[in-house]
Chains A and B, each alone.
Chain A
């Protein structure tokens, strides 16, 4: 595969982490415009760990994910109890604050006669772990998709677990969830931490993929894109956001011939798609129908034929 295709696939893999991070919060009904902040924190943390402290890659990625999770809990504490819209705007404000703080953040160590490390708006160059340790583009691609597979498996398991059910209940109606004995606040914080760690991990991978970070990369565009993927692809399962990413970057790359007009076509397409399927392609109803169809195939007893449709509120 030529380098360009590997590059695109790597981008798709890395962005999927932030899409899954926003998806996880959408599960509990929280709309976050700020996952790019934890993506940035993870990227800088992992970049510093390998480029400045010489840590091995897996430890650096773990460190990035942990920092993302911790930051998510810290910002989640005062905001998760807020009403949906206020939480969305609070996360936007927090993410912009993180970006502006990174514009002031300077921490450099001289290695080999050269200052290496974040230098405010000039960015953070030289995260050269994959070159120093001879990690080829294909190997790094395998690492990205390996981690993504693990995360997806984890999310699929979560879907079937009690915790997954608790998340969806909170997403539907937090008061009702509390009435059913779910510790709503704790579950929300856990979801925020998981989402923050996911974004942090994605950030760490991104830092090593591009070897170069700059605060402007992590502005509101990235966060809103992450949110949009889940809503385009559908919130039925963890695959939904990935479909959103494929449509977005897959589409952007494939209609490269309209170089200048991509966003015009893509923007219009998303708007029309959301009219037809306001809850995304793979939404809960479709997933439920597929589930019933599959259970029919495998001979499991099927629930009664015309399941009652929910009466709109």
Chain B
């Protein structure tokens, strides 16, 4: 029984970073009904800048966070300008494939800049794990969980309490009506992209600080984990993204404990597949109705 709770705790910890990634995905998908396959790679660009600063200038964690965040936001805006802004209303699939092409570009750029396979990343905390009764809690995991929950609370407040959030939700509800009430939809989308990239940057930083290394595979990993967590949680639903992330973390932790790492990923995909086949809307989102536009 102790193992079960320990696994669940570990799962919740790692799941919190999935939740943040899913949150970033949901923000972009919610606002534009578009899938950004470059989401992970743009965070990786931020992380590579962060590790560059950490390795070359041996900068402290605060500087690395700032650089990672800024890098992720800049890369995110680059993706928005090239793949999503110029696309006509109907070209949903085209912008998704375009974001895939930019994923290739960003990944190769990162590999060229820093050709080694892995690069060190500043750790979050190096203290011994705390023990809470029979359970072991790694300090850096705790920081990741609290950081993730705090950030998602901030995003929730921003979306549901602020003027910016009101505008964003209006666009999500009905873009034409948003235009008609005088919202500058273009500018709001760019700000939403920046916000999502920033959230992704923090998630990336937390994950890589726990991992203490960054590889070019991180882009794909982040995109796929964020996507799975978003789909399980429910498209366009902010609480759903966090819940989906935590659930994915717990599923993975248990399957890793009982069946080993390979089977862990298999279970994650199985969970996603079952969720899609049985409840397409995900736990908290509602199923999409309007067709996923195929092109202008």
Chain A residues within 8 Å of B, Cβ to Cβ = 29, 31, 78-79, 82-86, 88-90, 92-94, 96-97, 100-101, 103-104, 171, 173, 220, 224, 227-228, 231-232, 260-264, 266-272, 274-275, 278-279, 283, 312-313
Contacts and interface: CB of A to CB of B under 8 A. Distances in A.
Give the interface SS of chain A, mostly helix, strand, loop or mixed: helix
Contacts of B296: 278-279, 312
Contacts of B265: 96, 100
B83 interface: yes
A274 B99 CA distance: 10
B276 interface: yes
B119 interface: no
Give the interface SS of chain B, mostly helix, strand, loop or mixed: helix
A279 B273 CA distance: 29
Interface stretch (B8-16, B154-162, B196-204, B284-292): B284-292
Nearest to B270: A97
A14 to B, nearest CB: 20
Contacts, number: 144
Interface in B190-232: 220, 224, 227-228, 231
B82 to A, nearest CB: 5
A220 B224 contact: yes
A261 B276 contact: no
Size category of the B interface is 35 or more
Given A261-B108, A267-B105, A278-B88, A93 B273 contact: yes
A100 B101 contact: no
24 contacts: A29-B291, A29-B294, A78-B277, A83-B289, A83-B292, A85-B35, A94-B273, A97-B266, A101-B266, A228-B97, A228-B101, A231-B93, A263-B107, A266-B105, A267-B103, A268-B105, A269-B101, A271-B82, A271-B98, A274-B95, A278-B296, A279-B91, A279-B295, A283-B295
Contact of B227 (A29, A89, A274, A279): A89
